[in-house]
A and B are shown apart, each in its own frame.
Chain A
């Protein structure tokens, strides 16, 4: 187990492939890679066949680059942004908060506004891009298909009414015309 030995961590919270970066101090070695950079027990490591040429105590970036050379990718973790804890309100304060919520404008307006913007955004996207997009385009096309179907249904519903409305007017007209002809 020398510096640069590629290992898999098999015990503890972290799992993944790592590189040894220091000579053993007793049973502990410094590791880095897909796991947190820390000293770990040699018993918690499982040596793999690969070996990298790395300096002792090499940087994390150097380790990541070296591991990328043997097709092992290291995902960088981003720190979570922890906001303030919500404070439970009781009694008068709760009543005040509820009153403020009720007096505030309803969400319905914003909800109604959202789809319109989405539609506008979908319309602005050219047809070629729509085809390129996989999921979003599919839903947009489906929505269009639904709209078309609804419009057709409305037209179909209107047509019989129109014909029905036209026929009675035509029917009385026909006898009159016939009467005129006879006269």
Chain B
């Protein structure tokens, strides 16, 4: 029987076949969703799909593109936004 915490929907469950032939369930935390563009909803490049604890360890400059609206809008939408200024 897994522990009480493991029985919640908090963890992603993957079944692993062991060398002995038996199967075991591995519990890993769910990954956050890929960041998307605020205007068109496209998936953003250069924004890591990491857990909050992992994000703490990553340098701020490698968390989003160094561009106006980087990490918020996709490159197309940021160009359009800058043209409209």
Chain A interface (Cβ < 8 Å from any Cβ of B):
8-13, 15, 46
Contact = CB atoms under 8 A, between A and B. Distances in A.
A20 to B, nearest CB: 17
Q: Choose among A10, A11, A13 the residue with the greatest number of B CB atoms under 10 Å from its CB.
A: A10
A133 to B, nearest CB: 35
A156 to B, nearest CB: 55
A13 B79 contact: no
Interface in B54-85: 66-68, 75, 78-79, 82-83, 85
A11 B85 contact: no
Nearest to A9: B82
How many chain B residues sit at the interface, stated as a range, is: under 10
B66 A13 contact: yes
Q: Chain A interface secondary structure, helix, strand, loop or mixed?
A: loop
Nearest to B66: A13
Contacts of A46: 79, 82-83
A8 B85 CA distance: 9
B83 A13 contact: no
A83 B26 CA distance: 49
Contacts of A9: 82
Contacts of B66: 13
B67 A11 contact: yes
Nearest to A12: B67
Please give me the 7 A-B residue pairs with the lowest Cβ-Cβ distance, nearest first. A10-B82, A15-B68, A10-B79, A13-B66, A46-B83, A10-B83, A15-B82
